[in-house]
Amino acid sequence: MFAASLAPALALALLASADAAPALCAPAAQLLELADCPDLGPGAYRAQYAAAALPPVLPDLPLADLPRPAKALSETYARVVTPDAPLFTTPEDAAAGLAVRTLGRGFVFVQLVEAATAGDLPLYRVHSGEYIRAADLELVEPTSFQGVQFTERPAGSFGWLVATVRPSPAPGVPAPKEVRRLARYRVVQIFGTVRVGAWNWYLIGPGQWVEQRAVSVVTFHPPPAGVSGDWVQVNLYEQNLVAYEGDQPVYATLVSSGLDKWATEPGLFQVYARLRADRMRGAYAPDKSDYYYLEAVPYVLYFDGDRALHGEYWHDRLGFKRSHGCVNLAPLDARWLYNWAGLGTQVWVFDPSQAGGANAEAAAIGP
């Protein structure tokens, strides 16, 4: 029984971490099998815990080997760290201080085409063909993260850790400090789920439980009504994406969709434009405090107005909302998707935490 297998310290930790109404038994009490605890509400904890068991042999996910280039992108990028950094038509103009325009203030990035000098002044020629002072820049390194390609449909649940965490010995229990941390972006399989308070806890290995907020879980769905052939599923709650060929998932990865102020809208859409690279800029706040200017955004698939699936080189926070409404992907994932998806590929964006969620008929959402 659980009571016999729990060390006293663990039982005390469970009791200390329990969050339940006074009239119901806390998870810790359920594990200790108190006679007065019903199998209702928090009482379901014991049954969930008992059902969460590892298989005798841990299965491998059916994943294909993907090529790993030395660099995620062949291009070089930099953040402009000087507000209103000037651009120059020629190196000579830069030496003379004759700016043709400025890049403004905000979230500004450029693609560096080649290094140049004007006397002893280091410069770069950027994607627009103009020149910028090297002192106004800070080089950035795009994330090397990449999702997974399937050789067949996975039989069980899996996802990625979106935070570096120490796994806990039981659901809802703080992890001992001596437990080794598991790295962010690690692929994990999910063998059981137990609810503690407002969050699920996932069993990912022997004696390894991780809270829901640290995991992006991949869920598979049938094609939306009227969809056939290749299509893409974007889960706004879990912040991940699955590419399908018919009803078979072929690729999955993490994304970063729009922040709440500039949300990515749920719906059923189609890819209507494909661009190997595109410049993106804009500002939506009245004071333009959210101004952004992004040169040569790679592997762009527009699907909903100015919203697109595209690669990003300016952050490494995949698995969390981050954008002005587009769906950001790691460069390696964006390249795979760009090469796979054609014009007309359907894109189903949904949020299972909202009313209707993943069960809403795509036909009701409308194209």
pLDDT in tens, 328-337: 999 999 999 9
Please tell me what DSSP assigns to residue 46.
H
User: Can you give the CATH number for the domain in which 121 is found?
Assistant: 2.30.30.170
Residue 5 has pLDDT above 50, yes or no: no
The answer on 315 and 213 residing in a single domain is no
Whole-angstrom distance, CA of residue 267 vs CA of residue 186:
30
170 and 203 within one domain: yes
Q: Indicate the pTM of the whole model.
A: 0.86
pLDDT digits (tens, 9 = 90+) for 68-81: 898 999 999 999 99
Confidence of residue 172 (pLDDT cuts 50, 70, 90): very high
Let me know whether 261 and 358 are in one domain.
yes
Residues 6+ apart with CB under 8 A from 64: 148, 149, 150, 151
Answer yes or no: do 203 and 269 share one domain.
Answer: no
Flag whether 7 is in a domain: yes
pLDDT tens for each residue of 106-128: 999 999 999 999 999 999 999 99
Q: Residue 33 and residue 154: Cα distance in Å, rounded?
A: 35
Whether residue 271 lies inside any domain: the answer is yes
Q: Using one digit for the tens of pLDDT, what is the confidence trace for 300-348?
A: 999 999 999 999 999 999 999 999 999 999 999 999 999 999 999 999 9
**Within a domain: 146:** no
Cα separation, 328 vs 321, in Å, equals: 9
The CATH number of whichever domain residue 262 belongs to comes to 2.40.440.10
66 located within any domain: no
φ/ψ of residue 13, rounded to 5: -65, -40
- Which residues lie below 8 Å from residue 327, measured CB to CB, with a gap of 6+? 234, 241, 255, 256, 257, 264, 307, 308, 309, 310, 349
> Domain count of the chain?
3
Domain boundary among 163, 184, 217: 217
Decide if pLDDT at 283 tops 80: yes
* pLDDT at residue 56, rounded to an integer: 87
* Residue range of the domain that includes 231: 221-365
Closest CA to 208 of 240, 232, 180, 235: 180
Res. 50 pLDDT band, cuts 50 70 90: confident
357: confidence class by pLDDT, cuts 50, 70, 90: low
Q: CB neighbours of 309 closer than 8 A, spacing ≥ 6?
A: 232, 234, 241, 271, 300, 301, 303, 326, 327, 329, 334, 337, 341, 347
Tell whether 70 is covered by a domain. no
Residues 238 and 361 both lie in one domain:
yes
Residue 65 lies in a domain: no
In a domain, 149, yes or no: no
User: Can you read off the two tokens belonging to residue 274?
Assistant: 């494909």
Helical ranges in the chain per DSSP H: 2-5, 8-17, 27-31, 44-51, 91-96, 331-340, 362-365
